[in-house]
Structure 1
Amino acid sequence: MDFDLKIGDLVWAKMKTFSPWPARIVEPGPNTPTKTGRKEMQWVYFFGTKNYAWIENTNIKPYAEFKEKNISSNKASNTAPFKKAINEIEEFRAKLLEDPNYELPLPVTRTPSKEKNDPDKKFNKLISPKKSTKKSPNTLKVSKSIFNKKGTGTEAAPVKRQNSDASSTKNSTPSVKRSRGSPRFNENGISDVGTEILNRPSILEAPDSPAVDLNTFSELLKTKDILASDLTFGFIGLGTIGMGIVKNLINSGHKVNLYNRTLKKCEDFKTQADSDTNKVGLVNTYITPCDVMQNSDIVFNCVSDPYNAKENVVGNCGITKVGDHLEGKGYVEMTSIDPQTSKDMCEIIKSKGGRYLEAQVQGSKNEADEGSLVVLAAGDKSLFVDCQSCFKAMGKTAFFLGNVGYATKTNLILQLMKGVALVGLAEGLSLADRCGISSKDVLNIFNLTNLACGYLSNKADLIIKKEFKHVEQAIKHMQKDMQLALDLSDQLKQPLLMTSTANEVYKHARRLGYDDYDSSCVYMRTRH
């Protein structure tokens, strides 16, 4: 440490496991707890939380010098308490400029009250919250005789509820436990700062929904020689992937019936299609999956998860509600789901005379927009053949893998590989940052090695630019696929140690409030 610390300094103070926090070094008061350990420490006041703590000198940095760095890299930077702390310290700095003798009004530190924090009295209040003159048989009483200095009371003392390390002498001090539900901070600042940061969801702006634009043709689609099928295709689900697929189906001349929970997306497609003389009549919209199936020869379903996929089949107004049979109709499941759900839906469709195909897609929003997805199909071979023109419009290749279940399993295997690799990339960039090495330099070197691939290079670029609102695959969908892969491994008793660990990292990132952001935001968990 190349700077001196003195009373009154504005600093960044860091407690173990927590991010640096705006603080001021203050004079210890008469009720200040005795510092522990032999290391040099300072008694600091935390802005925003109005809390105090002893902090080691090595964990204290000058406020002004490290302001920009700590605000930009702080994992709590989007939380209300952190913003409040920054506002308070900046207001104090402004007042110091006006009046160098200005003193910050500090809350008085108090010695914890034995009566207030006595665990037995807290327990008694819980089991008998209302004051009453009647004695409750459940109330635990402590006989004064057991606190006799000599420990020889004449009365029979009831058993006292106490901690295992409690002494039987009068001078024993009960252990002070903090109420779990209280929003205030302990004087040492350790317990509640962590609770506040971890339990309060991040205040994040929702990523912008991609706009529909049928006038943007991908260069790859222009090079494809596609003869659109005469069949009418239904499409359910206009999410990140679905919108790109539908755009390419329409631009390649396919007739498409649309349904989405947000009907406006369907209407936007129809409005743009009808405004183009070459696309008039190609798009129709419906208000239920059942209507889409009734008016289509083949229906694609591309939604968020197995539950919603199954709801579109057997739920209220699902595709199976068109009547007693689905003769001549086909159903293609493009949702990333588990093999058992796919098999269940296959049996339902086949029982009504329909054909079933699982067509899992590998790729992200960019590939969907460009028409360069990889399609993994399994199920009815004749349905696979009937969908060839559609697969050609949406992807660069399509594989037929055999019986139902093989495509979903292959997709989950590829997803777990991507998920584990992305966590490794994020941890590597986090370590580089901690070492003071430029992330851009690391990426430039990475791209020159045989480690480089389009997927990881693109994710590294998003991480360095912090463009997590540019959603190619939402982190909630990535973590969902990781969990489905783990569920599959449980059935087969196949250990997946790295996948299990990576899945926990994704879950923690989601807990920070990044559900709808790009999966590259897992970096925020590894970095902070």
Structure 2
Amino acid sequence: MSEVYKLGDLVWAKMKGFSPWPGRVSHPSKDLKKPSNTKKGPVQCIFFFGTNNYAWIEESNIKPYHEFKETLVKSSKTGAFKDAVEAIEDFIAKGEIFEDGLDPDSLFDRLKDDTISVEKRTPKTTPKMRKETPKQKRLDSAEIRRPAKKQRTESSTSNSIRVGSLSPALNHSAAARKSGSTLLNRPSNIARPVTPPLDVETLSQTLKEKNIMPSTLKFGFLGLGIMGSGIVKNLINSGHSVIVWNRTQEKCIDFVKAGAEQGLTPSDVVLAADITFSCVADPQAAKEMVFGNCGVLSEMSPDKGYVEMTGIDAETSKDIAEAINAKGGRYLEAQVQGSKTQAQEGTLVILAAGDRTLFDECQSCFEAMGKSSFYLGEVGNASKMNLVLQLMAGVTLAGLAESMALADRAGLQQKDVLELLELTSLACPAILEKGKAIIEGGFPTQLPLQHMQKDLRLSLGMSDQLEQPLPLAAAANEVYKHAKRLGYGEHDASAVYIRARF
């Protein structure tokens, strides 16, 4: 353990490509491996408040929390950053301590057990039933708030990169108790949509008809989510050599059985592959995949290619391209139009921009993934084109949701509306598919609502830069945000109907 920072110290920790973030020197999780080569000195395992993830950070990128608090808090205004600062301040205010000698997983399990036991033995009383002295009140609330003085923490992810929040429900529970239950609070009874298991080894009829001649190159793929899993399935079944990585390693098992290899970290995948694809949640995750510990940049070299398939904005794409090119690598953005079904059937539309030779080398892969691929020139053009198309889709779906809500309120049968719509010039597969989802009310995820809202937000950001008014998109974005707040972010985008109806 370093003499400068000790276990439990509160700090500001900076990952490459990101601003300093409030954290705490902690034990690493069981599967968080310490970097083998630390060129710039000793490293510390940091727990990041707000995101509840862990990463190894060089001590040169760590500063004491209280000493630099005033300066750094003023330097960032993002909502996620403010939430993280609030979390560490709440941690300080409650006087919670880190118990040395326990790994984070064990610590969380013990805290969970203690919390359950406290709830069982704490009687439900009101001020009218029992009078309390100030001292008694302080002791009772302290017992409930911090059982056994242990730190609240979630289990770490399987990688060393700080990617997303592990438990939004836990993160927001304290705030919900303070503010009380309101319409905007996430309901606790919204079940997450069930994702049926993917049959990785069965070829789709579309793929059989393509008769693809696979490339002899080796391809890496980072991210096996709703879109990535379908894409990788078709790469494997078309005969391509693939090595995969996913934050949740269990998702890799079926793909390994189907013939893929598995990398332990994103950098392992880049090292083993000639060309690596990435398809993760959003711009933040895309940057962390590249700049984070054990990320893409650590193994990027002149003989490597990197293809970003995450739905991102042009500025993020250019930042990633600059970093990849600085290491001698080649970069291509390849945005996709389509949903889960199209990804699994291999009928996506691919919009690419960047290195033309890399685009040509990926042609057999694009043929397996989709029905058409387009090269749009310099980096950023594909991201812009994708956001333009997503804006159309998002606003159209919000309009469909409001129309179906109006029909229901007017006493009309929604299935009649859809049958008549199918006979008009407005009929198209996307509208009819979403209309059926609205009528059935299950909203099985084809394109997550939170991803649609993300694309609308990025479109509005692009409009701000170009000073192009987007009043309809701005209104639609608010509707999606509200549906997301109601608990439907992981459901299909058609769940925006819930906000329109209620």
TM-score normalised by L of structure 2: 0.64
* SS of alignment partner, residue 442 of structure 1: helix
Question: Which amino acid counterpart does residue 227 of structure 2 have in structure 1?
Answer: I
Question: Counterparts of 2:303 and 2:268 in 1: how far apart (Å)?
Answer: 16
Question: Counterparts of 1:183 and 1:291 in 2: how far apart (Å)?
Answer: 43
Q: Where do 1:371-410 residues align within 5 Å?
A: 371-410=346-385
String of CA shifts for 1:344-376, please: whole Å, max 9, x gaps.
110100111100000000000010011000000
Check the 8 A contact 2:337/2:348 in 1, yes or no.
yes
Question: Counterparts of 1:521 and 1:392 in 2: how far apart (Å)?
Answer: 32
Deviation, 1:318, is 0.4
1:293 paired residue number: 270
Check the 8 A contact 1:202/1:512 in 2, yes or no.
no
* SS of alignment partner, residue 512 of structure 1: helix
Question: Counterparts of 1:497 and 1:527 in 2: how far apart (Å)?
Answer: 21
Q: Alpha carbons of 1:226 and 1:200: their partners in 2 closer, same or farther (altered >3 Å)?
A: closer
String of CA shifts for 1:228-268, please: whole Å, max 9, x gaps.
00000000000000000000000000000000001111122
**Which of 461, 465, 476 is the matching residue for 1:502?**
476
String of CA shifts for 1:472-491, please: whole Å, max 9, x gaps.
01100000000000001001
Question: Counterparts of 1:442 and 1:369 in 2: how far apart (Å)?
Answer: 30
2:220 paired residue number: 234
**Which of 332, 340, 344 is the matching residue for 1:369?**
344
Check the 8 A contact 1:362/1:374 in 2, yes or no.
yes
**Which of 261, 269, 278 is the matching residue for 1:284?**
261
Question: Counterparts of 1:462 and 1:345 in 2: how far apart (Å)?
Answer: 37
2:279 paired residue number: 302
String of CA shifts for 1:104-124, please: whole Å, max 9, x gaps.
xxxxxxxxxxxxxxxxxxxxx
Q: Alpha carbons of 1:230 and 1:432: their partners in 2 closer, same or farther (altered >3 Å)?
A: same
Q: Where do 1:92-491 residues align within 5 Å?
A: 196-199=182-185, 201-271=187-257, 273=258, 282-322=259-299, 326-468=301-443, 470-491=444-465
Check the 8 A contact 2:218/2:275 in 1, yes or no.
yes
* SS of alignment partner, residue 244 of structure 2: strand
Question: Counterparts of 1:215 and 1:353 in 2: how far apart (Å)?
Answer: 36
2:120 paired residue number: none
Question: Counterparts of 2:370 and 2:176 in 1: how far apart (Å)?
Answer: 55
Question: Counterparts of 1:510 and 1:429 in 2: how far apart (Å)?
Answer: 19
Q: Alpha carbons of 1:420 and 1:200: their partners in 2 closer, same or farther (altered >3 Å)?
A: closer
Question: Which amino acid counterpart does residue 260 of structure 1 have in structure 2?
Answer: N
Check the 8 A contact 2:187/2:486 in 1, yes or no.
yes
* SS of alignment partner, residue 513 of structure 1: helix
Kindly report the root-mean-square deviation, in angstroms, between the aligned alpha carbons of the 2 structures: 2.0
* SS of alignment partner, residue 212 of structure 1: coil
Misfit runs of 4+, over 6 Å: 181-184
* SS of alignment partner, residue 184 of structure 2: helix
Check the 8 A contact 1:212/1:269 in 2, yes or no.
no
Question: Counterparts of 1:290 and 1:197 in 2: how far apart (Å)?
Answer: 44
Question: Counterparts of 1:458 and 1:182 in 2: how far apart (Å)?
Answer: 35
Question: Counterparts of 2:196 and 2:325 in 1: how far apart (Å)?
Answer: 36
Q: Alpha carbons of 1:493 and 1:386: their partners in 2 closer, same or farther (altered >3 Å)?
A: same
Check the 8 A contact 2:314/2:383 in 1, yes or no.
yes
* SS of alignment partner, residue 199 of structure 1: coil
2:118 paired residue number: none
Check the 8 A contact 1:212/1:265 in 2, yes or no.
no
Q: Alpha carbons of 1:287 and 1:464: their partners in 2 closer, same or farther (altered >3 Å)?
A: same
String of CA shifts for 1:163-197, please: whole Å, max 9, x gaps.
xxxxxxxxxxxxxxxxxx9999xxxxxx98xx544
Question: Counterparts of 2:361 and 2:208 in 1: how far apart (Å)?
Answer: 22
Q: Alpha carbons of 1:267 and 1:435: their partners in 2 closer, same or farther (altered >3 Å)?
A: same
String of CA shifts for 1:108-163, please: whole Å, max 9, x gaps.
xxxxxxxxxxxxxxxxxxxxxx9xxxxxxxxxxxxxxxxxxxxxxxxxxxxxxxxx
Unaligned 5+ segments in structure 2 are: 1-137, 139-174
Check the 8 A contact 1:305/1:336 in 2, yes or no.
yes
1:82 paired residue number: none
* SS of alignment partner, residue 206 of structure 1: coil
Question: Which amino acid counterpart does residue 464 of structure 2 have in structure 1?
Answer: D
Question: Counterparts of 2:254 and 2:204 in 1: how far apart (Å)?
Answer: 19
* SS of alignment partner, residue 216 of structure 2: coil
- Pick 1 or 2: higher relative contact order, CA cutoff 8 A, min separation 6: 2
Question: Counterparts of 1:355 and 1:183 in 2: how far apart (Å)?
Answer: 50
Unaligned 5+ segments in structure 1 are: 1-129, 131-180, 185-190, 274-281
- Identity in percent: 56
Question: Which amino acid counterpart does residue 524 of structure 1 have in structure 2?
Answer: I
Larger Rg: 1
Check the 8 A contact 2:220/2:270 in 1, yes or no.
yes
The alignment of Structure 1 onto Structure 2 pairs a total of residues equal to 330
String of CA shifts for 1:305-331, please: whole Å, max 9, x gaps.
011111111110001112xx5111100
Deviation, 1:224, is 0.1
